[in-house]
Chain A
Amino acid sequence: MTASILTVDDSASLRLATRIALTGAGYTVAEASDGVEGLAKARGCRFDLIITDLNMPNMDGLTMIRQIRQLPIQTGTPIIFLSTESDDGLKQQAKAAGATGWLVKPFQPEQLLRITQKVLAR
């Protein structure tokens, strides 16, 4: 069974790049364009991994991560957030919110796949 991954990002180009990399490696990918949509999808079914941006309209990534951690259906689901080199404080906040790990933007597809393999439970 292929792992299913939810990507949450308001940038369509980033979602597209992520989807291409992940589907190319055989993963099943669902997408959401902000925290509200991401949370709704996370409520709907269990994912093996959630990759999310932090800075998004409607509901930011931190709030979404906190809320997803309250969902029994996503117990223990790894959540990777995307960050930029300059926000170290944000990194701490995201971890406190319940994020599993991070990926620094800009990133290359290989880095994304490495992180994905790293956190995906087999």
Chain B
Amino acid sequence: MSEQDPAAAFRIEAADLLDGIEQALLDLAIQLDDRDLVDTVFRGLHTLKGSGAMFGFDALAAFTHHCETAFDRVRKGQAQASAELVHVILSAMDHMRALVDGDAPEAASDAILARLHAALPADGAPAARSPDISDAAPGQRAPEIAGWRLAFRLPPDAMANGTNPLALLDELRGLGACRVRALASDLPALDGLNPQHCLIRWEVELDGAIPREAIEDVFIFVMDDMEMQLEPVTPSVPDTVNAPSSLPPPAVSEPVTHKVETAARAVPRAGESVRVPAERLDVLMDRVGELVIVQSRLSQLANSPFSVTAGNAIVLRSIAEEIERLVSEMRDTMMVLRMVPIATLFGRFRRLIHDLARETGKDIELVTDGEATEVDKTVAEQLADPIVHLIRNACDHGLETAAERVAAGKPPAGRVTLTAAHAGGEVLITITDDGRGIDRDRVRAKAEANGLVQPGQALSDPDLLHMIFHPGFSTAAQVTSLSGRGVGMDVVKRTIEGLRGTIDIASVAGAGSTFTLRIPLTLAIIEGLLVRVGTGRYVIPLTAVEECLELTAHDDDRSRGRSMIRLRDALVPFLRLRDLFGSTSAPDDHQKIVVIATGGERVGLVVDQIIGSHQTVIKSMSAVHRPVTSFSGATILGDGSVALILDIMHLVALGQHREARLRAVG
């Protein structure tokens, strides 16, 4: 995206404007008579139309004009805001977004406008006309004149208000030959003179067949407040009977805008920039400044003519420490720069709930908490779809109809609660509904029907609930348009895990369900545990590590073939990474086990050596290596070599799978 493209800047602005209008509309839906909200919507639409026309978004400007007109009437008390009007304008929002992006379907506009007119009957006057098409008659020929004689006096405060009389006279001279006479008779004596007061009168004779408008145009800004006599000078031999121009004074506005054709442009998505509070940039700038100073110290040392002395070594060490501190501070600041409040995400869900309530005919209220919680921008974007799906599910399957709710002794309006909070290095997001809860019998029946569980097989409650994350699993007796949109809970789970997060369910029959998402704060840098297997080094995300212990020769021997260790009365399967990775070097005498856990499952990883904790900057794998399982990415170590980052989900699943197979065999 070009930084120099106002149209691109407008797209970003338009997205913000539309979001603002939408929020106001949703508030208005609750308080239909709130005049401030009506004003907010009107102003937003007005700005959108005006700027849209500026940057060649003519279709947007024309369409928005209709909505603006509708709200103008509401604003002026000529019409009433109604739920239907708000709903139509909300659909119009979507169309405007499409118009901003340049991919609006042609027909949609008329359909929405038809609904708009139905929602707000026109009051005689045609409610909608294309904006800024001027009716001004094309340049009417001025009657034949030889020139003008004008006498004028500017408003006394003209100069104080920035009008320069000399510039006006110059402009008149630009129209034709000019004779100017200044009349200073109104000027007071010098000691009574206010230099800012404009008290001089002028008389000007202007030659040429100049249209009256051209002269009036010179004085356009002061016209209303000044004294002026303007008389045409007719040619000495009049041969026409044309009366002097008696045109009404021209509208005090600039001429019609030229229409800029809307070229098909590459449309950069509006969400690709991050807004950053200035003070955060200042902090970063300070650190960069310090870094530059340290760098110059380092250069000085490198260029010093002396060989490495003890003194030099101390200086070098202090520089290294300084750089380490600065880099870690810059890293922290940088991560904060990428943070956006989750309110940006939650805002969208109000609209979703509004639409869902209409579609399902249920009464639904949305309660949100913790909107100020900040998450990495990329994380926020990727969370949108899973949360939309969970909210859809909650509204469609979870919440009962008003009648059912009343029968069950609940308030008729269903409630969906969305919360966000920070917990350690994670963001905790919950989606709760107070509906009927997950029907475990039906989940069980479905799982058996799909062959996921054997009839009669014992299954813990969490395991049973997690069945809904299997691909193709759906408990809805009937697939409605809401939930049957092709995305399943398995996709939700995969997306969350792709963010290195987890998803948990709690559900009480008759009282509702809660889905809890735990997402790491940022994707770019993690705390890792650096280990060695054979000659290769690997990183294990520290959040997944439960404990490290030694694999004694005794345990090792005893577990041959079984690959299980006893950990405080629990058997934990383990994987020998040397075997897994085909390491051919001699194993270390004292092998270690790193116990990792995810989603309640534990697996031990046998490694040669635990090197220590490591700040890991995650680099994604190249396309060639992406199909490789067991690794989720790579990082570059201090010595420049590459260490692979272990994929915890995969390894835990692999360990558990092997154990299950061994158990089946044994």
Contact = CB atoms under 8 A, between A and B. Distances in A.
A55 interface: yes
Interface string B1-27: 000111101101100000000000000
A86 B50 CA distance: 11
Interface in A79-122: 79, 84-86, 91, 95, 98-108, 111, 115, 118-122
Contact of B254 (A17, A75, A104): A104
A43 interface: no
B355 interface: no
B157 to A, nearest CB: 8
B51 A13 contact: yes
Contacts of A40: none
Identify which of A79, A85, A105 gathers the most chain B CB atoms within 10 Å of its CB: A105
Contacts of A105: 50-51, 53-54
Contacts of B255: 111
A73 interface: no
Contacts of B225: 95
Contacts of B13: 11-13
Contacts, number: 107
B163 interface: yes
Contact of B54 (A77, A91, A107, A118): A107
Nearest to B159: A76
A120 B167 CA distance: 8
Contact of A55 (B43, B164, B258): B43
Contact of A14 (B54, B61, B258): B54
A106 B60 CA distance: 13
A100 B51 contact: no
Contacts of B160: 69, 75-76, 98
A100 B50 contact: no
A78 interface: yes
Size range of the chain A interface in the assembly:
35 or more
Interface residues of B, number: 42
Contacts of A3: none
Contacts of B161: 69, 79, 95, 98-100
Contact of B196 (A75, A78, A120): A75
Contact of A106 (B132, B157, B159): B132
Nearest to A111: B254
A32 to B, nearest CB: 14
A119 B46 CA distance: 28
B204 interface: no
Interface in A27-83: 55, 69, 75-79
Contacts of B61: 106
Contact of B50 (A16, A84, A95, A102): A84
B298 to A, nearest CB: 38
Contacts of A16: 4-6, 9
A110 to B, nearest CB: 8
B46 A84 contact: yes
A16 B54 CA distance: 12
Identify which of A79, A103, A107 gathers the most chain B CB atoms within 10 Å of its CB: A107
B258 A108 contact: yes
For the complex of A and B, the 3 pairs showing the least CB-CB separation, nearest first, are A100-B162, A78-B162, A101-B221
16 contacts: A12-B13, A14-B51, A17-B6, A84-B46, A86-B46, A98-B160, A99-B162, A101-B162, A104-B254, A106-B51, A106-B61, A107-B257, A108-B257, A111-B254, A115-B254, A119-B221
Interface of B: 4-7, 9-10, 12-13, 43, 46-47, 50-51, 53-55, 61, 131-132, 157, 159-164, 166-167, 170-171, 196, 220-221, 224-225, 252-255, 257-258, 260
Given A13-B54, A14-B54, A108-B257, 10 more contacts: A11-B51, A12-B13, A16-B5, A91-B252, A95-B225, A100-B221, A101-B221, A102-B221, A105-B53, A108-B260
